[in-house]
Amino acid sequence: MAKIVFIGAGSIGFTRALVRDLLTFPLMENAEIALVDINKERLDFALRACKKIIALGNYPAKVSATTDRRKALKGADAVLITILCGATRVWRHDIEIPKKYGVNINVGDTRGPSGIFRALRTIPTMLAICRDMAQICPNAIMLNYTNPMAMLCHAMQRKTSIQLTGLCHSVQGTAGMLAHWLEIPYHELNYTCAGINHMAWYLKLEHKGQDVYPKLKEVVSKNKGIYNHEQVRNEMFLALGRYVTESSGHNSEYNWWFRKRPDLIKKYCTKGTGWNPGHYAFILNEYLERDHSWKKETREWLKKDAPIRLERGHEYAAYILNARLGGEPFIFNGNVPNTNLVTNLPQDACVEVPVVVSKNGFQPIHVGALPPQCAALTGLSAQIEMMAVEAEANGDPELIYQAIAHDPLTASVLSLAEIRKMVNEMFRKNKAHLPQFKQTRI
C-alpha cells in the first residue's frame, strides 16, 4: 500500500483532481492518502471531497486529515506540495506596491519583485518540510506544485538530499494548444522542450518526422483568431523563432517588451482571448473572488446527486508516482538542477527539461544549448533567481535589491534609486514574514 501525503491539501480543487488521477492506477487504488493543511475548515472540505471520490470509484483506498505535518509524513512514499505562505492579502501587497512605482504586474507568482518576495516567504517553509522528510521518510519523493517554482526548487535542491522535482501545467498545456492550432492529434506531436519554468522553449516541434515550425509560423501570421488568442507569446514566437511555455499574461511580465507603457499594455495585454491575456493582477483577483466563493462551490460539488468525473486527467503527478512505484516508466518535463543539461544556462540553476522517472528515481535528459536568442532572456532570469535564493540563504537584503534591479520589467520603467525605494517598501510590508533577514533596510 503506497502512502501519499498532500501538504497544502486545502487547495481543494487541485487536491481532488490529483487524488482522482492517482486512484485510477492499479498500483495506487488502495493508497493511503494523508491530507495536511493549517486551515482546518479547508482541510475538512478536502477530506470530504476525497471520501466522495473513493466511494464513487469503489476504491479500497484510505484517507485521513491532520494539521500535524510530521505525523502525516510517517511511512510516506511521496509528498505533494500545494501551499501558499502569507495568504492572499500578503500576495496583494507584492503586486500593489510595484504598481504604485509603475511596475504593472499580471500574476507576480514566478519572478520579478512580486515573485521574489513570494519566494522569500515560502523558502523557509519548504526547507522545513525537506528537513522533516529527511528525518521521517528519507526515501520519499517530493513533487512540488507551489510557485515560484524555479526559486523554491533551487533553494531545496541546494540544501537537501531528498529526491524532488517541480511540476507545472504549461509544457503539456501549450503542446496541446499548438497541436490544436496545427490540426494534429496531440499524441502525434513530437517535441523537446527546455529552459526554465514558465520560460521553456519548444526546441523541436515535429509531426511524423517533419518540422512543423514553418506551418506554425504561417498559421500564427495569417489566422487572426489564433494570433489574438496568445498575443504576447505569438509576438515572441514571430520574433524569436521558438514557442515559449506559459500564458501570454505570465510572459508579458518576464521581459522588456509588453508592459513598460500603458499603450503597450492596452495593445498586447488586454484584448487577447486566451485564459490569461495579461490584465493587471489577473490571478490575484481570481483568488480574491475564490476566497468568497470556494465554500459554496465545494458544497455544491459535495452534494450526493452532483455528477463528478472519475476519468484520469493530464497532470504529471499520478503518472510519475505510478512509475516510481514500479509501473511503466514515464517521461515528463520537470524542474531539476542544471548539471550541464542545458549547456548555455548557469550551472546548478533550476532548469525545466525532459526527465525519465522509473522505480530507480529521476533521470534528467541532456538537451544541449538553447538557441542564442532564447538563451539571452532565459539566462538572465535564471541568474536573477539564483541571486534571490542566495540572498534568502544569507539574509542579504542588498542582494535582493540587486536581483530586482536586473528584472527586465522593473528595469524598463524604474531607475536604480526608484527600485531601491520600492524594495525598501516591500521589505517593510513583509517584515513579519521574513525573520531570516535581520536587517531589511537597504
Instruction: Tell me the catalytic residues.
Output: 169
Q: Name the residue among 228, 348, 286, 374 with its Cα closest to residue 108.
A: 286
Give the count of beta carbons closer than 10 Å to the beta carbon of residue 421.
14
Residue 117 DSSP SS3 = helix
Report yes or no: 101 and 399 within 8 Å, Cβ to Cβ.
no
Q: How far is CA 178 from the centre of its chain?
A: 20
Amino acid at 161: S
The CA dihedral of 44, 289, 166, 181, to the nearest 10 degrees, is 130
Query: Per the structure block, which three cell numbers stand in for 88?
Result: 492572499
Tell me the C-alpha distance between 343 and 99, whole Å: 36
Tell me the C-alpha distance between 391 and 398, whole Å: 8
- Give, in order, the Cα–Cα distances in Å from 95 to each of 101, 279, 422: 11, 12, 11
Give the count of beta carbons closer than 10 Å to the beta carbon of residue 2.
22
Q: How far is CA 384 from the centre of its chain?
A: 17
Residue 412 DSSP SS3 = helix
Q: Name the residue among 158, 153, 159 with its Cα closest to residue 131.
A: 159
Q: Counting every residue, how long is the chain?
A: 442
Amino acid at 353: V
CA distance from start to end of the chain: 52
Report yes or no: 367 and 194 within 8 Å, Cβ to Cβ.
yes
- Give, in order, the Cα–Cα distances in Å from 58 to each of 29, 52, 70, 299, 344: 9, 10, 29, 21, 50
Q: Which residues contact 332 (CB under 8 A, 6 or more apart)?
A: 167, 316, 319, 320, 354, 355, 357
Tell me the C-alpha distance between 28 and 227, whole Å: 42
Amino acid at 81: I
Q: Name the residue among 381, 356, 378, 377 with its Cα closest to residue 366.
A: 356
Tell me the C-alpha distance between 423 and 440, whole Å: 9
